[in-house]
Structure 1
């Protein structure tokens, strides 16, 4: 189990650090032939994973892919789409109104912010103009208990205040487990709905060098099973709420892939839209729906993709060979280095992952280099669907349009240390990430039929 978790983390890390060359859409040639692709960084959906150490700890043959059935015939061409970061206060204001915020738009070097009624919207000056909506960090305060007489404890079920008490901004005091407890009490947040108790066992003074009897400690009260917060909507209602919100923010839901995850105290609705009729990877929007159908957090993209060049694609079989050479996805060469040498260590068999299907899709990928700052592409990939429910993307552009190797003296620096998101980013919402590592192009692959 531990090895499978490490492999799963390595797969994500390998995807995050994969950097390959792709086309600058603005540099199209005058004829119908697309341009050769310069380098871009293929990022992931989660910014929380910044290290490559997990991926580098496994050899390239740590995963063995097997196909259930036969690989399908796929379209022979697909279009890339350009995603910029051009925006202004009016577009941010329209987005804020769609999210129910009526505060002023404040512009800064990193983007725009809007705050009102204890919530905030942040739009970053990054490719795609990613935006994040959630509780305003400045409105978060400590969880305080009302003052009582000296030496007295608050009565059971006394209301408390402060946004750190939970998403609901409050809770109640739960009684101690002993009738003669020495004034101790604890606060149970109504957001967690867990009425925990705290048993206190006081000890009387004992003279030095004396033998004192033990004090019997009363058994703690049983902890009831957690309960969902009152007013939590059904899965269907939460999905409808998320769809309506994302549609108001400009997301095209036609053909989108929608996933609803149960967060116990809220529903997490994730939407992967289609662009140009193709599914996307790493370009999702999400909405957290809490009690009474309230939107507690959300994120998405403000810009609309612009049509780019159309590229010939490799076949599904050629894409599978690319995947075998780069088992964690995307990269043209194995992203995992050789395992550390170990004399006498047991050789573990590869983890077998079963492919149940493959589709042509688009993956979000920022362009590299100072001339391409603030630009990204949605690039054609093959999306290999796995039996365990996961999806592994592999670059689908034909070999002749892959980039030339980057000269050694121009190679990019290794990724820096892990970073921490700003405090005002909701914990359930994180942006797409990219890092900087460069790999050479693939050996020739069989082109796909038209």
Structure 2
């Protein structure tokens, strides 16, 4: 592991928390080194699939129905206030990516930690271990392609495998938990999860075992990469009331350094955060202004127009940030998940409970580019070009059936088709306007369409034909 590029120290005192960070080169941030492996050359633009100026997560709190950190569609303003002093950060930092494929040996190591015997079986795009009879036993499934997303369930949905010869009814003393019993202690849950986390390469992860799901306690592990905390790349291990691991999910493939990018300061990230959360005019928020829609054939203008003042002024909500630290957050880059340099803001809960985290991409905006598969207009909006270029959000495959998810309007119909070769499957989503519609509500909805392929997807990449970008799996 490379020496951490940022060292953070928490100093308690006064009215809040003070975080100090020192760059590894000793300049306290601002000046940048050479791009990783690039001999000082400028890194390529970082193509984020989503806008970097919109917080990917938002905590709870007022105004009612609007998450703190998210813009108020009615024109409210969110102001993020820092309790204490913002830290400095490094001059630049690397993107981390999971590359390659998961080997059978890596799956075997994880399966052994989960108490599963047997050899990993290759099934389409996944490795599987266990539950090869009636579906009642434990099952581990791992995606073969990086980042090696894995899921584990101790109890299946079938009957049992404990059948004596000649018995008319199969029975077993081991059945799925019914939610009864009390969750184990946090220390017991961590002890049970430790072998699994070690097999997944998470020896040094930051652990949180406060979450309880019924009778199971969940140990959530966020990896620490070269000394940097992460957000959005968690592994969760569920421990039942008997102390056994009953479920879990995470990523098995390790992360590798990518290109190095200049990064902005915490103060600049906070300024952008407040800028994206401010909406001062009526109708300028999410979804614009709602107006009465005339019945078909009745094209009279409504009596009240958008922008009509009602005397009510937009509200302002103040959100307190207790801590800021430089780290990495999960973002999609050109259709693939990656950990991107980010400022992680810990936000105080309005209800007095556990706080939440706002992750803000820290890459200098000059090095950010719009991903090829990013829509030119918001979901449900109208573009200037003729025809429809619809972004495919994700896909799932089951044998020869390929299901794609995308955003579409309520007044159109959609059909999906695919063109296949040995390495890729290019999917096209065609939009047809419904005839006779003179007035249509501008509302988007998430849609799914299924295409029957000539052969199972296997290791082939799914490509959005409209944009040429690779589509991530669901």
TM interval, short-chain normalised = 0.5 to 0.7
Distance 1:288 1:295 in 2: 6
Q: Say whether 1:40 aligns with 2:18.
A: no
Distance 2:144 2:84 in 1: 45
Q: Are 1:285 and 1:300, in contact at CA under 8 Å, matched by a contact in 2?
A: yes
Distance 2:287 2:213 in 1: 36
TM-aligned CA distance change 1:266 to 1:412, over 3 Å: same
Q: Say whether 1:135 aligns with 2:154.
A: yes
Q: 2:138 aligns with which of 119, 122, 131?
A: 119
Partner of 1:253: 204
Partner of 2:21: none
Q: Are 1:289 and 1:297, in contact at CA under 8 Å, matched by a contact in 2?
A: yes
Instruction: Give how far 1:38 is off.
Output: 3.7
Distance 2:141 2:106 in 1: 12
Instruction: Give how far 1:364 is off.
Output: 1.9
Distance 1:404 1:192 in 2: 46
Partner of 2:232: 282
Gap regions ≥5 residues in structure 2: 1-34, 58-65, 161-170, 279-283, 291-305, 350-354, 377-384, 394-405, 407-445, 450-463, 468-474
Distance 1:398 1:411 in 2: 29
After superposition, the C-alpha distances for 1:208-243 in whole angstroms (9 at most, x for unaligned) are: xxxxxxxxxxxxxxxxxxxx44xx432211122223
Q: 1:68 aligns with which of 78, 83, 86?
A: 83
Q: 2:39 aligns with which of 31, 35, 41?
A: 31
Figure out how many residues of one structure are paired with residues of the other and give that number: 301
TM-aligned CA distance change 1:56 to 1:64, over 3 Å: closer
Q: Are 2:77 and 2:316, in contact at CA under 8 Å, matched by a contact in 1?
A: yes
After superposition, the C-alpha distances for 1:362-412 in whole angstroms (9 at most, x for unaligned) are: 11223326xxxxx43211011011112110011101133222686957976
SS of aligned partner of 1:95: helix
Distance 2:146 2:75 in 1: 32
Partner of 1:379: 340
SS of aligned partner of 1:137: coil
> What's the TM-score, normalizing by structure 1?
0.57
TM-aligned CA distance change 1:265 to 1:253, over 3 Å: same
After superposition, the C-alpha distances for 1:163-190 in whole angstroms (9 at most, x for unaligned) are: 9x9833xxxxxxxxxxxxxxxxxxxxxx
Distance 1:296 1:29 in 2: 43
Query: Rg larger in 1 or in 2?
Result: 1
Q: 1:238 aligns with which of 179, 189, 206?
A: 189
Q: Which has the higher helix share?
A: 1
Distance 2:191 2:113 in 1: 16
Q: Say whether 1:82 aligns with 2:82.
A: no
Q: 1:413 aligns with which of 391, 403, 408?
A: 391
Partner of 1:299: 249
SS of aligned partner of 1:97: helix
Q: Are 2:74 and 2:314, in contact at CA under 8 Å, matched by a contact in 1?
A: no
Partner of 2:176: 167
Q: Which has the bigger relative contact order, CA under 8 A and spacing at least 6?
A: 1
Distance 1:30 1:63 in 2: 40
TM-aligned CA distance change 1:263 to 1:138, over 3 Å: closer
Distance 1:335 1:349 in 2: 13
Instruction: Give how far 1:63 is off.
Output: 2.4
Distance 2:210 2:220 in 1: 6
TM-aligned CA distance change 1:263 to 1:30, over 3 Å: closer
TM-aligned CA distance change 1:249 to 1:414, over 3 Å: closer
Gap regions ≥5 residues in structure 1: 1-26, 46-52, 142-160, 169-190, 194-227, 329-333, 370-374, 421-434, 439-450
Q: Which has the higher strand share?
A: 2
SS of aligned partner of 2:150: strand
Partner of 1:355: 321
